[in-house]
Amino acid sequence: MEMLPPALPAILSLLDVVGIAVFALSGAALAARLNQTFVTLAFFALITGVGGGSVRDLLIGAPVFWVQEPWIAPVCLGVALLAWFTPHRWWEARLFEWADAAGLSAYSELGTVKALGYGVPPVTAALMGIITGCVGGIIRDVLAGQPSILLRPELYVTATALAAGLVVAGDFLELPDAPVWIIAAACGFILRGAAIHWALGIPTYKRGNTEPS
């Protein structure tokens, strides 16, 4: 698994698997909907699954996790095979959006914990969590020529910020790790789930029609 100081706890190992697999599947599924080759599916799966974590590791001075661990690239390629041999309509249903919500909250939490473990200051560690959860999807969308999640008002990045912020708050208050991690992941998932169910978004900037005199 990703290398944390100390070793990655079991609960975060599970979150790691969930995050990487779900994000890899989202990348492969997008390439499938665009009628691309298997090579493109595999590339999208890999870049989406490890993109955010790779940027985080480079920023905090850690070994890039998927280069160090032999199982991560095969998992991404296996997910690409799954997308290749199944109808892409399977991955367009609302269920996949909920799976993505689970991966988003898990991965953003994991990124925050890892950054804190490397001595990154709290606010910056939370930003590393947001980067971990969002950057892979942003790279995927840019490569596919799709509107990035950053350019849509729906609650997506906000959910990662909530999960990351709760992890930082728990660390600052010196609360037990496991309950904090469970609560943080659950809250991020619930917020993202509420956004999916009720189409919640944040207000957009609107310039007034007239300039003040």
| Domains held by the chain: number | 1
- Name the pLDDT band for 209 (thresholds 50, 70, 90): low
Say if 211 falls within a structural domain: no
**pLDDT value at residue 147:** 86
Rg of the chain taking only CA atoms, in angstroms: 17
pLDDT of residue 5: 46
Whether residue 209 lies inside any domain: the answer is no
What is the rounded CA–CA span in Å between residue 106 and residue 20? 9
Whether 208 is in a domain gets the answer no
Closest by CA position to 113, among listed 198, 47, 184? 184
In a domain, 35, yes or no: yes
Please report, rounded to a whole number, the percentage of residues in the chain having pLDDT higher than 70: 90
> Contact at 8 Å (CB) between 145 and 159?
no
Q: Quote the pLDDT of residue 83.
A: 92
Domain with 77 in it: 10-198
Collect all residues with Cβ–Cβ distance below 8 Å to 101 and sequence separation of at least 6.
Answer: 159, 189, 192, 193, 196
**Rounded to whole angstroms, how far apart are CA atoms 28 and 51?**
14
Residue 3 confidence (pLDDT) above 50: no
**Residues 109, 129 contacting (CB under 8 angstroms):** yes
Mean pLDDT of 120-126: 97
Q: Residue 4: what pLDDT?
A: 46
Question: For the purposes of burial, counting CB atoms within 10 Å of the CB of 118, is it exposed (0-12), middle (13-18) or buried (19 or more)?
Answer: middle
* 51 domain-assigned: yes
Greater confidence (179 vs 8) lies with 179
- Mean pLDDT, rounded, for 41-53: 96
Residue 163 pLDDT exceeds 80: yes
In this prediction, residue 1 carries a pLDDT of 40
Q: What is the model's pLDDT at position 204?
A: 86
Mean pLDDT of 40-66: 95
Of residues 15 and 41, the one with the higher pLDDT is 41
Average pLDDT value for the chain: 88
According to the model, what pLDDT value does residue 138 have? Answer: 92
What is the percentage of the chain residues whose pLDDT exceeds 90?
63
pLDDT at 9: 66
Whether 156 maps to a domain, the answer reads yes
Asked if pLDDT for residue 189 goes beyond 90, the answer is: yes
CB-CB neighbours of 92 under 10 Å: 13
With 0-12 CB in 10 A as exposed, 13-18 as middle and 19+ as buried, what is 156?
buried
Task: Look at residue 203 and tell me if it is in a domain.
Answer: no
Contact assessment for residue 43 and residue 28, using Cβ atoms and an 8 Å cutoff: no
Angle between helical axes of 94-117 and 38-60 (0-180°, round to 10): 30
Round to whole Å and give the CA distance between 75 and 2.
14
End-to-end CA distance of the chain, in Å?
60
> Does the residue 47 lie in any domain?
yes
